[in-house]
C-alpha cells in the first residue's frame, strides 16, 4: 500500500516537473527572441535611455558623459566624411572644367580667327576711327577660369567709350536708306545713339554683330534698322512675289525671311512697336509669336504671309513641329537679351532654331550684359563677329542716382507708400507674384492708383495694365522681373526695388527702366537689417558704390525723391486704355471683324484666374487638350503699305 502511494506521488510530481520544464522552455524561447532583438544596433541616445529605465539611480555621471562623447564623435565623423565628399566633388568639377577648357581651346584654334585681319576688315568698312577686335572667348588666367561662368565675353579692347561718339551724327550719315530715315524723322528720331553709331556701319554691310549697350541705349533700333534694310535690299523681289500671290496652295508653308527671338512676350511687343513702322516703309509685315494665345490664331496670321517673325523660342518651336512655318529661308537672325534667355533655360531651344536657318545668313546678338553662358552660341553661330561694347557692363548711367535705404520691417511698407505718393511715374519691383498683387491692391485702397504686372495675369490683363501705365492713366506699376527686361516706357522717374535681388544682372536690368535715353532717374533699393551684408556684396559686383542710409517714413530724403505729392483718389478703378478704345484694335483675321477677345478671356479676367506661368506659357494639361485663354492683342499683324 505504501509503495502504491509513493508511486502515485512520484507520478504526480513528475507531471508537475514536466509542466515546469515546458514553462522553462517557453521562457527560454522568449528570452532567446528578446536576445535576438537586442542584437540590433542602437544609437548612443537610445542605449542611454534604456539604461536609465533599468536603473535610474545608478546611471549617472560617467555613463552620460560616455554617451555624449559618443554622439560628439559620431557627429564629427559625419562632418569629416561630408567635407571629404565635397572636396572630391570640387576636384572632379575642376577636372571637368579643365578638360572642357582644353577642348574649347582646341576648337577655338581650329577657327583660326586672326584678330589683325578682323580689325583691318572693320576699319575698312567704317569711316569712324574706332578699334574692333575679334572675340576672345576663353580665359587665360586662373582667376578668369574660376570666374568663367559670370565673366563677360567682351574683351577689354572692344569696349568703346561714349566720348568717341558725337551727338550730331544723323542716320543718313551712317548709311541708313532714305525710306527708313523718313520714318525715323517722322517719329522724332534724327540723330543716332552711340550703340547705333558703333554697329550700323558694320551691320548694314551684312556683318555678324555682337553688341552690348546699357539699358535704354537704343539697342532695338540698332538691329531693327539693318534687318529691314538688308531684307529690302536683297530680298525685295521675293517679298513682293509672296505678297502678290493671289492664292496660296495648301502645300505651301510660310517661310519668313527674318526672325527676332526674345525671352518674354512683353519684350516681343516692345520690339514690334519699333520695327513695324520701319517694315511698313517697304510693304513688309510682321507677326508676333508667343505663348498664352491659341495656336490657330497665329497659324492663320502666318499663312497670310509675313516677312519678319518676332517670337519667344518655346512657341516658335511648337509651331515648327506643327508645320506652320519653315525657317529655311531666314537670312537675318537676331537674338535680343540673349543672357536672359540663357537664365530662363531657352538656350537649347535657341540652338535648335538657329540650326534650321540658312547657314550663310547674317546674325546679330544684342544685350545689356553678355557673359559666358552665351559663349557657345557665339562660337557656333556668330563666327568672326564684330564686337561693339559701348561702356563697361558695370558702368553707371550718368543721369541715374542710386539710393540704398536701410529700413526696419515695421517701417518698410510706410516707406514704400511714401515713395508711391508722388506725381512721378514709378515702377516697384517685388520678388514674388503675390507680393506684386498685394502691394498694388494696398496702394489702391489708400488712394494711390496702381496696377500690377505679374505672371498670374492673363494675357488680356497684362496688356491692359501695361497700356494704362504707358499712357499715363496710372502712375505706379508694381511688377515682378517679368517687366525688368526690354519694357521701354518713357518718363519713368523712379524705380524702387522693394528688396535687393540676388544677382547683379537683375539689379542692373531693374534699374535700367529709368534714366533712359538721357533722362534723369532715381533708383531706390530697400534693405532690411539682415540683408545688409548680402546686398553690399551684390551691389559691389554690380559696380554700385552708394552707401546705405537709415531711413524711416519721416525722413527728409524721401520727400526730396518723391517731390510734389499727388492728390489721393479714393475709390479709384482702372480705366479703359485709349489703345483698346480705338476701332479695330485687337481684331481677328480681317478688317472690321470683332475683337479677338474670347469668352474664356472675359471669364478669366472677371475671376482673376490664369493657368499660365510667369512667362505666359500655358499649363501642360491645357497644352495637351488644346485649350487656352485668348489675349486681346494676341499675335499682331501690321497691315502696312496696302
117 three-state secondary structure? helix
Q: Structural domain tally of the chain?
A: 4
CA 53 – CA 37 distance, rounded (Å) = 18
336's enclosing H/E stretch is strand 332-336
Condensed to tens digits (0 to 9), the pLDDT of residues 509-559 reads 888 888 876 788 999 999 999 999 899 999 988 888 888 999 999 999 999
| Sheet with 308-311, side-by-side order of all strands | 159-160, 386-390, 209-213, 362-367, 332-336, 258-261, 308-311, 286-289
- Give the range with max mean pLDDT: 98-112, 387-401, 525-539: 525-539
331, 422: one domain: no
CA 199 – CA 278 distance, rounded (Å) = 18
In the chain, pLDDT over 90 holds for what percent of residues? 39
pLDDT at position 363: 96
Residue 607 within a domain: no
Confidence category of residue 33, pLDDT binned at 50, 70, 90? very low
Q: How far apart are the first and last CA of the chain?
A: 139
Residue 605 within a domain: no
In the chain, pLDDT over 70 holds for what percent of residues? 61
Condensed to tens digits (0 to 9), the pLDDT of residues 210-268 reads 998 776 778 999 999 999 999 998 765 555 555 555 444 445 789 999 999 999 888 89
449, 512: one domain: yes
Q: To the nearest whole number, what is the mean pLDDT of the chain?
A: 74
280, 192: one domain: yes
198, 317: one domain: yes
- Which CATH number fits the domain that encloses residue 329? 3.40.50.300
pLDDT of 315 strictly over 70: yes
Across the range 568-585, mean pLDDT stands at: 66
Across the range 607-623, mean pLDDT stands at: 43
pLDDT of 122 strictly over 80: no
214, 289: one domain: yes
166, 301: one domain: yes
Confidence category of residue 392, pLDDT binned at 50, 70, 90? low
Across the range 279-306, mean pLDDT stands at: 92
480, 438: one domain: yes
Residue 127 within a domain: yes
What lies within 8 Å, CB to CB, of 522 at 6+ separation is: 400, 401, 402, 403, 493, 494, 495, 514, 561
pLDDT at position 355: 95
Residue 412 within a domain: yes
CA 329 – CA 315 distance, rounded (Å) = 19
449, 551: one domain: yes
pLDDT at position 606: 39
Reference 450, options 558, 564, 561, 572; nearest CA is 572
Answer yes or no: are the C-beta atoms of 513 and 481 closer than 8 Å. Answer: no
Condensed to tens digits (0 to 9), the pLDDT of residues 48-57 reads 555 555 554 4
Structural domain containing residue 45: 41-112
263, 146: one domain: yes
pLDDT at position 156: 47
pLDDT at position 508: 85
pLDDT at position 546: 86
pLDDT of 616 strictly over 60: no
pLDDT at position 279: 96
pLDDT at position 330: 95
Residue 635 within a domain: no
DSSP state of 587: B
Answer yes or no: are the C-beta atoms of 222 and 336 closer than 8 Å. Answer: no
Across the range 39-58, mean pLDDT stands at: 52
516, 545: one domain: yes
Residue 590 within a domain: no
pLDDT of 74 strictly over 70: yes
pLDDT of 379 strictly over 70: yes
pLDDT at position 52: 52
313, 233: one domain: yes
What lies within 8 Å, CB to CB, of 352 at 6+ separation is: 317
pLDDT at position 559: 94
197, 346: one domain: yes
Residue 595 within a domain: no
96-105, 350-359, 373-382, 462-471: lowest mean pLDDT where? 96-105
Across the range 81-89, mean pLDDT stands at: 78
pLDDT of 162 strictly over 60: no
Residue 641 within a domain: no
Amino acid at each position: 500500500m505504501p509503495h502504491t502511494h509513493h508511486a502515485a506521488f512520484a507520478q504526480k510530481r513528475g507531471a508537475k516537473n514536466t509542466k515546469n520544464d515546458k514553462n522553462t522552455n517557453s521562457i527560454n524561447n522568449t528570452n532567446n527572441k528578446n536576445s535576438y532583438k537586442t542584437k540590433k544596433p542602437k544609437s548612443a541616445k537610445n542605449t542611454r535611455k534604456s539604461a536609465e529605465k533599468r536603473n535610474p539611480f545608478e546611471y549617472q555621471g560617467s555613463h552620460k558623459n560616455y554617451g555624449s562623447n559618443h554622439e560628439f564623435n559620431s557627429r564629427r565623423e559625419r562632418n569629416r566624411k561630408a567635407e571629404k565628399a565635397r572636396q572630391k566633388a570640387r576636384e572632379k568639377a575642376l577636372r571637368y572644367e579643365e578638360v572642357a577648357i582644353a577642348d574649347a581651346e582646341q576648337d577655338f584654334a581650329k577657327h583660326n580667327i586672326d584678330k589683325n585681319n578682323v580689325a583691318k576688315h572693320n576699319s575698312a568698312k567704317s569711316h569712324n576711327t574706332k578699334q574692333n577686335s575679334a572675340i576672345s572667348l576663353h580665359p587665360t588666367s586662373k582667376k578668369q577660369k574660376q570666374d568663367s561662368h559670370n565673366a563677360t565675353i567682351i574683351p577689354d579692347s572692344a569696349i568703346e567709350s561714349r566720348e568717341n561718339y558725337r551727338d550730331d551724327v544723323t542716320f543718313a550719315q551712317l548709311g541708313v536708306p532714305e525710306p527708313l530715315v523718313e520714318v525715323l524723322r517722322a517719329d522724332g528720331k534724327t540723330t543716332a545713339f552711340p550703340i547705333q553709331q558703333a554697329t550700323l556701319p558694320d551691320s548694314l554691310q551684312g556683318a555678324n554683330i555682337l553688341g552690348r549697350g546699357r539699358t535704354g541705349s537704343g539697342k532695338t533700333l540698332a538691329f531693327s534698322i539693318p534687318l529691314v534694310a538688308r531684307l529690302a535690299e536683297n530680298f525685295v523681289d521675293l517679298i513682293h512675289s509672296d505678297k502678290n500671290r493671289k492664292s496660296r496652295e495648301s502645300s505651301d508653308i510660310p517661310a519668313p525671311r527674318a526672325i527676332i527671338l526674345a525671352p518674354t512676350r512683353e519684350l516681343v511687343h516692345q520690339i514690334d512697336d519699333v520695327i513695324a513702322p520701319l517694315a511698313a516703309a517697304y510693304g513688309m509685315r510682321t507677326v508676333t509669336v508667343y505663348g498664352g494665345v491659341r495656336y490657330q490664331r497665329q497659324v492663320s496670321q502666318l499663312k497670310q504671309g509675313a516677312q519678319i517673325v518676332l517670337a519667344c523660342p518655346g512657341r516658335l518651336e511648337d509651331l515648327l513641329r506643327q508645320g506652320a512655318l519653315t525657317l529655311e529661308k531666314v537670312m537675318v537672325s537676331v537674338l535680343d537679351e540673349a543672357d536672359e534667355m540663357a537664365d530662363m533655360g531657352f538656350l537649347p531651344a535657341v540652338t535648335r532654331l538657329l540650326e534650321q536657318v540658312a547657314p550663310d545668313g547674317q546674325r546679330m546678338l544684342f544685350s545689356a550684359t553678355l557673359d559666358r553662358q552665351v559663349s557657345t552660341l557665339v562660337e557656333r553661330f556668330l563666327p568672326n563677329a564684330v564686337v561693339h561694347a559701348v561702356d563697361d557692363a558695370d558702368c553707371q548711367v550718368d543721369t541715374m542716382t542710386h539710393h540704398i535705404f536701410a529700413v526696419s520691417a515695421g517701417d518698410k511698407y510706410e516707406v514704400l507708400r511714401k515713395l508711391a505718393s508722388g506725381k512721378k511715374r514709378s515702377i516697384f519691383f517685388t520678388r514674388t507674384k503675390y507680393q506684386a498683387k498685394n502691394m498694388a491692391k494696398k496702394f489702391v485702397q489708400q488712394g494711390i492708383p496702381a496696377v500690377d504686372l505679374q505672371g498670374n495675369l492673363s494675357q488680356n490683363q497684362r496688356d491692359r495694365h501695361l497700356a494704362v501705365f504707358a499712357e499715363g492713366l496710372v502712375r505706379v506699376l508694381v511688377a515682378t522681373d517679368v517687366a525688368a527686361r526690354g519694357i521701354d516706357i518713357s518718363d519713368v522717374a523712379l524705380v524702387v526695388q522693394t528688396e535687393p535681388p540676388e544677382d547683379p544682372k537683375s539689379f542692373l536690368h531693374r534699374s535700367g527702366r529709368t534714366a533712359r535715353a538721357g533722362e534723369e532717374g532715381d533708383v531706390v533699393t530697400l534693405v532690411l537689417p539682415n540683408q545688409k551684408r548680402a546686398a553690399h556684396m551684390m551691389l559691389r559686383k554690380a559696380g554700385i558704390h552708394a552707401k546705405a542710409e537709415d531711413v524711416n517714413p519721416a525722413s527728409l530724403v524721401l520727400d526730396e525723391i518723391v517731390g510734389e505729392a499727388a492728390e489721393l483718389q479714393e475709390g479709384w478703378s482702372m480705366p479703359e486704355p485709349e489703345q483698346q478704345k480705338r476701332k479695330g484694335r485687337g481684331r481677328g483675321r480681317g478688317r472690321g471683324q470683332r475683337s479677338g477677345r474670347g469668352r474664356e478671356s472675359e471669364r478669366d479676367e472677371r475671376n482673376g484666374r490664369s493657368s499660365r506661368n510667369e512667362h505666359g506659357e500655358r499649363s501642360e494639361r491645357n497644352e495637351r487638350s488644346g485649350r487656352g485663354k485668348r489675349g486681346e492683342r494676341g499675335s499682331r499683324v501690321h497691315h502696312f503699305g496696302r
